[in-house]
Chain A
Amino acid sequence: MSDLNLKHIGINYPAVWILTKREVIAFWRDKARIISSFAQAILFLLVFGYSLGQNTFPPGFNYKAYLASGIGALTILFTGIFGGMGLMRDKMFGFMKELIVAPVSRQTLMIGRTLGIAIQTVIQVLIILTLGIAFGFLGYNPDLFLRILIIIPIALAASMGIVGIGLIIGTKIRNFQSFGLIQTFIVMPMFWLSGTILPITNDSILYPIYQYNPFSYCVDLFRSVLIGINNFDIWLDILVMSAFAIGLILLGAISFNKMDVS
């Protein structure tokens, strides 16, 4: 129903703030979602952490730390994509019309939403890392605290890119039926083929896919900051992740600008 966009009026910061707040409040109120996301993280930590014995891995490889950091990074993927797709809810229930007819630009609407989801992501990452520490998977080094602090901006940046994917999908699809498709064909492959839970070694036939999965670099950066294990050069990680985040957020913006609400 809408094909007009107020491009020229720029970004309205109070509006960004209230939209961010809306996302965060909605997250906080959706207790079922919070609980299931943590239960899933705990399940992964326990199942993978205890099903593979230390002998499975080469000596000196700390799999439990590898796993805990991977699951931290995984939160970025899940929260980001499904958070971004959440805009479909607003489309379905009509609230998107209220947003679209307001005297603010679409960039404002998009930035508010993206920031809100990025903040949700960071909160969850922090809680899951705390769980990892509580389980004893991440060790008890005093410098871990500092490392977690550095993780925050990384999680924010990676989250932006992932939310971009969610927004692109959310503006295109029209109903919840497509959720399963997205889950199977986008989220799961990105998850399993990024070395979040199981390392993908360079003699594996999956390695090329791993290498071309941009999310692998987010996970790698995340892990190298947190526990010092890395597959790629850290600068390559930073480069790929930034390009990925910027590229997708721009694509997300374009798709949001073109969004037709009816």
Chain B
Amino acid sequence: MEENIIEVENLTKIYENGNVLAVDNIDLHIKQGEIFALLGPNGAGKTTTISMLATLLSNTAGQAIVNGYDIKKHPDKVRKSIGIVFQEPSLDGDMKGIENLEIHAILYGMPKKIRNAKIKEVLKLVDLEDKAEIFVRNYSGGMKRRLEIARGLLHEPKILFLDEPTLGLDPQTRRKIWEKIKELNKGESKITILITTHYMEEADELADRICIMDHGKIIALDTSKNLKKQLSGDVIDIEFDKIEDTSLLPSLISQLKEIPGIKHISLGDSKNNQEEIPLNLPKNIPNIDPNVIKARMQEMMQDPKKLLMAWKNFPMSQQMFQDAPLEMKKKIANMFNDDLIKDIPENIREVIINIKNGVFEDDNSREISKISISCEHGGKQLPLIMQNIDQKKIIIKNIYMHQPTLEDVFLHYVGTKIREETSDRTKDIKKRIQMRQLTR
């Protein structure tokens, strides 16, 4: 019988300061040697869950056993059993790569004899041997992430927590890190990995089991295959041309729902294509190859300082930011720490600060021009769907029918929730803002 290395029961966390129920009575049983993914949108409670399991945060209720130790009674033993890569960077930039590892090794009580050999070993694992003597502040984002993974593994933990390990990395680097993660999970010393992510492909690619979380609750938990099986049938993605009358879409959806065989309709983009930067180019730029601009943007998305320069020198780029999709704004907001924020031009700063504080309008409601329909037999329902759309005189740009993917599963669970609870959610956000103001 397989042993469970993490046993979580009724785990709950309420943040007193914001009065937020971040984790709501969850149960988890993670097997020895398994890669387990926590998948969920922003604010789902993934980081909070990991923080409690890593004994960084006290739990409000419930209990958890990690590697046989209770998180409340033996936090020190728990800490020695785990390695953790935080969502935010946590390296000392003023030290060399190897020094970061040395400090870690000594903090974790590794004897001198094995220390150096082990440091070499983990550096090799993440391909950073030749960069060990370089100051971490000069590392690229991907190198930093790899060094953090190496550091998390240094003291030979039984369990590795990876909190969004590939956030903000380019596709090649992401893939490389996936390879490393898979490597760790091979062989006889199979290390158990708990990974959080909002990239579906990541969960699909790596995880033995996937747990979808939203609003602090577990909504679904199974292997990727089984999750997809639940959505048997076909998925039809329909992309519309710009819809002028915004009331058309909701009434269309309620009509479509009446069609027999249609199980579920969700709004938005099921192809969560994170790798391409979406961009709305202003119409009146003369003689500049859009590809050049795209390349420049790509560059700027790596370095907040370059973005700042652009905003300062080209007012056009400020407009581009304002027009950018929320996803991209969020990405940009994440690049700025407190120190850099003050250099941002004022009108943009406000938007970024709001996003950082979790205050933003989902532009879904405004800009949705896609729906994703899951139905029993695409071939049978498609004509009826087309007929309905035609009656409304909505112009279709693209139709795509396919087998359900993990994205569809995610939308099925999370997307519906967001839609059905829209009013609650806005209330929720308002309440949080009020709370924030009160606690200040």
Contacts and interface: CB of A to CB of B under 8 A. Distances in A.
Interface of A: 1-4, 6, 9, 12, 14-15, 17-19, 22, 25-26, 29-30, 90, 92-104, 174-177
Contacts of A176: 339
A101 B57 CA distance: 10
B338 A174 contact: yes
Contacts of B51: 1-2
A101 B339 contact: no
A4 B56 contact: yes
Given A18-B102, A102-B107, A92 B338 contact: yes
Contacts of B118: none
For B55, B86, B102, B107, the residue with the greatest tally of chain A CB atoms inside 10 Å of its CB is B107
Interface residues of B, number: 34
Contact of A1 (B57, B75, B95, B108): B57
Given A102-B108, A103-B80, A103-B107, A94 B89 contact: yes
B107 A4 contact: no
B44 interface: no
18 contacts: A1-B56, A2-B57, A4-B57, A6-B79, A12-B107, A18-B106, A18-B107, A22-B103, A25-B99, A93-B91, A94-B88, A95-B90, A95-B92, A97-B88, A98-B91, A99-B107, A102-B79, A174-B338
Contacts of B79: 6, 101-103
Nearest to A30: B94
Contact of B106 (A15, A93, A97, A101): A15
Interface of A is mostly: helix
Nearest to A103: B79
Nearest to B338: A175
Nearest to A29: B94
Given A1-B51, A19-B103, A93-B93, 4 more contacts: A6-B79, A18-B102, A94-B89, A101-B79
A139 B66 CA distance: 65
Interface string B34-72: 000000000000000001001111100000000000000
A3 B58 contact: yes
B356 to A, nearest CB: 13
A22 B93 CA distance: 12
B104 to A, nearest CB: 7
A100 B104 contact: no
A175 B88 contact: no
Contacts of A174: 338
A22 B101 CA distance: 12
B12 to A, nearest CB: 15
